[in-house]
Amino acid sequence: MIKPVVIVTRRLPESVETRMKELFDVRLNVDDHRMDAAELAAAAAEADVLVPTVTDAIGPDVIAAAGPRLKLIANFGVGTDHIDVAGAHAKGITVTNTPDVLTEDTAEMTMALLLAVPRRLIEGERLVRAGKWDGWGPTAMLGTRVSGKRLGLIGMGRIGQAVAERARCFGMSIHYHNRRRLHPSVEDALEATYWDDLDQMLPRMDVVSVHCPRTPATHHLLSAERLALLRPNAFLVNTARGEVIDEDALADLLAERKIAGAALDVFQNEPAVNPKFLSLDNVVLMPHLGSATVEARTEMGQKVLINIKTFVDGHRPPDRVLPNL
């Protein structure tokens, strides 16, 4: 039986690539370079299955270039906002993703950032490394305690709830804004307070953490006007999508000390970082590490394998993504 041609746009964990080679006719991106639009279009033109990642813009032009053989786009990642899902669907191309494997890792990263900013961990590390630390002092490098503070979660899906569970262990009070209110049993278990109006929640929170997807409705959800609602002693954490926050407005507030600090693992124009952030000492900048564990990336690859194998065997893949029509 002729094996389907599977083109992978970035390097994946070695065990995943090896298994793909066993099952399919795989074309790997050996040097792990970021494919440009022309390369992605060429891949779509000759592949039976395309395996892109969040760094690949599979827009209308790439979909239009897809050859008659391309029947599956098996995305390595949960978010599919970089893929023209509706265009693919209209052309008879199935799209899949890799849900339910990033929750724990992203929640762990969120908690790390949630602690890093109030306790000034990055500032302290830089001070020691630069040889400028002159010893302990009663008022040196004072931060802010997180225990007893109010945490406002924007988005309360799997990751938001996992963060809430962890934050409760640190003695934080859980509040959330979500498109739909959670079942009372979940609210009770998390001791969570629901706010149907985000503008009312924001000025009452000590820490705000973003966990909503990128959609047209959430683009700059935290606009300049909403960011201005935050308390001067509030902290902001984002491990979701950079486009949710107006970065220029956030940088201005941080520079003017109108909010206490921020920690960002994602950016609007990745891998570019808004230059306004680079000179600020009250913002922690991470290179999109939310799911960057061996375990998570391997499990993502295994889901890609299952989706491809199921599809090739003539069955509906388990992680099919449908367009929002």
Instruction: Show the domains of the chain with their CATH numbers.
Output: 5-99+294-321 (3.40.50.720), 103-285 (3.40.50.720)
What is the reported pTM? Answer: 0.90
Residues designated as active site: 241, 270, 288
Structure tokens at 20: 């793909």
CA atoms of 209 and 64, how far apart (whole Å): 38
Q: What is the pLDDT along the chain (325 residues), one digit of tens a residue?
A: 689 999 999 999 999 999 999 999 999 999 999 999 999 999 999 999 999 999 899 999 999 999 999 999 999 999 898 999 999 999 999 999 999 999 999 999 999 999 999 999 999 999 999 999 999 999 999 999 999 999 999 999 999 999 999 999 999 999 999 999 999 999 999 999 999 999 999 999 999 999 998 888 999 999 999 999 999 999 999 999 999 999 999 999 999 999 999 999 999 999 999 999 999 999 999 999 999 999 999 999 999 999 999 999 999 999 999 997 5
- What are the two backbone dihedrals, phi and then psi, of residue 238, each rounded to the nearest 5 degrees? -135, 115
User: In whole angstroms, what is the distance from residue 86 CA to residue 80 CA?
Assistant: 11
Q: Hey, what amino acid is at 262?
A: A
Q: What are phi and psi of 39, to 5 degrees?
A: -65, -40
Distance CA 274, CA 269 (A): 8
Q: Let me know how long the chain is.
A: 325
Rg, the chain, Cα only: 22
Q: How far is residue 286's CA from residue 236's CA, in Å, rounded to a whole number? A: 14
